[in-house]
């Protein structure tokens, strides 16, 4: 009788240890299970209000740069392009690629992500080498007279501020 009691106790111990081990293994997070943060490229490519900008990003080949570099992007929405009389992406993709890239880089500030509260009145230098003028009136912040209408869209590699006009006119 004692022999069977020891077997039952050993079997119960083994069963408890097996369940504990399975629980620990099943709770481990795998890389494919993790939700990866979206990059600036992901936000632009996935959002319909940026369809014109998406075409410009793809045309210029800046897709990878907008995934890896820490940036602040003053991103014009489709409405902003229309306000600047740019009726579609073909107006920009018809330009030579270096001109389209200069236009796009005029909306980007590198080296760090500037949140809305960090934007101070003054000048910033765009990736195109042009000066961007920041003005603040009460709670309204403008970038070269384009108002920031949605701020602090966080991405894995920076921040996007949606603006209501383009930063530089299309030439």
C-alpha 72/C-alpha 113 separation (Å) is 5
Alpha helices, H only, 27-89: 40-46, 51-60, 65-68, 78-83
C-alpha 115/C-alpha 156 separation (Å) is 13
C-alpha 119/C-alpha 141 separation (Å) is 8
Beta pairing partners, 8 = none
Contacts of 128 (CB under 8 A, 6+ apart): 102, 103, 105, 106, 108, 168
Q: Where are the domains of the chain?
A: 2-32, 36-163
- Please state which of the four CATH numbers 3.40.50.1360, 3.90.1150.10, 2.30.180.10, 3.40.50.1820 is assigned to the domain occupying 36-163: 2.30.180.10
Rounded to the nearest angstrom, the gap between the alpha carbon of residue 158 and the centroid of all alpha carbons in its chain is 6
CB of 18 closer than 8 Å to CB of 65 = no
Please name the helix (run of DSSP H) or strand (run of DSSP E) that holds residue 43, with its range, or none: helix 40-46
C-alpha 39/C-alpha 154 separation (Å) is 9
Contacts of 19-23 spanning 24+ positions with Cβ under 8 A: none
Q: What is the pLDDT of residue 94?
A: 93
Q: What is the pLDDT of residue 95?
A: 93
pTM surpassing 0.85? no
Per-residue pLDDT of the chain (171 residues; tens, 9 = 90+): 555 666 666 666 666 666 666 666 665 656 565 667 899 999 999 999 999 999 999 999 999 888 888 999 999 999 999 999 998 999 999 999 999 999 999 999 987 788 889 888 999 999 999 999 999 998 899 999 999 999 999 999 999 999 999 998 766
Q: What is the pLDDT of residue 141?
A: 94
């Amino acid at each position: 009788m004692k022999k069977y009691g020891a077997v039952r106790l050993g079997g119960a111990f083994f069963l408890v240890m097996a369940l504990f081990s399975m629980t620990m293994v099943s709770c481990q997070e795998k890389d494919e299970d993790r939700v990866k943060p979206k990059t600036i490229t992901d936000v632009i490519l996935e959002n319909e209000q940026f369809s014109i900008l998406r075409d410009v990003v793809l045309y210029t080949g800046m897709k990878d740069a907008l995934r890896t570099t820490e940036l602040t992007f003053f991103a014009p929405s489709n409405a902003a392009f229309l306000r600047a009389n740019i009726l579609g992406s073909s107006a920009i993709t018809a330009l030579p690629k270096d001109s389209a890239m200069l236009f796009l880089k005029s909306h980007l500030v590198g080296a760090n992500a500037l949140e809305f509260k960090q934007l101070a009145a003054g000048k910033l230098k765009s990736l195109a080498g042009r000066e961007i003028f920041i003005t603040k009136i009460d709670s309204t912040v403008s970038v070269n007279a384009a108002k920031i209408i949605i701020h602090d869209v966080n991405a894995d590699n920076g921040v996007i501020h949606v603006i209501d006009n383009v930063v530089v006119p299309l030439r």
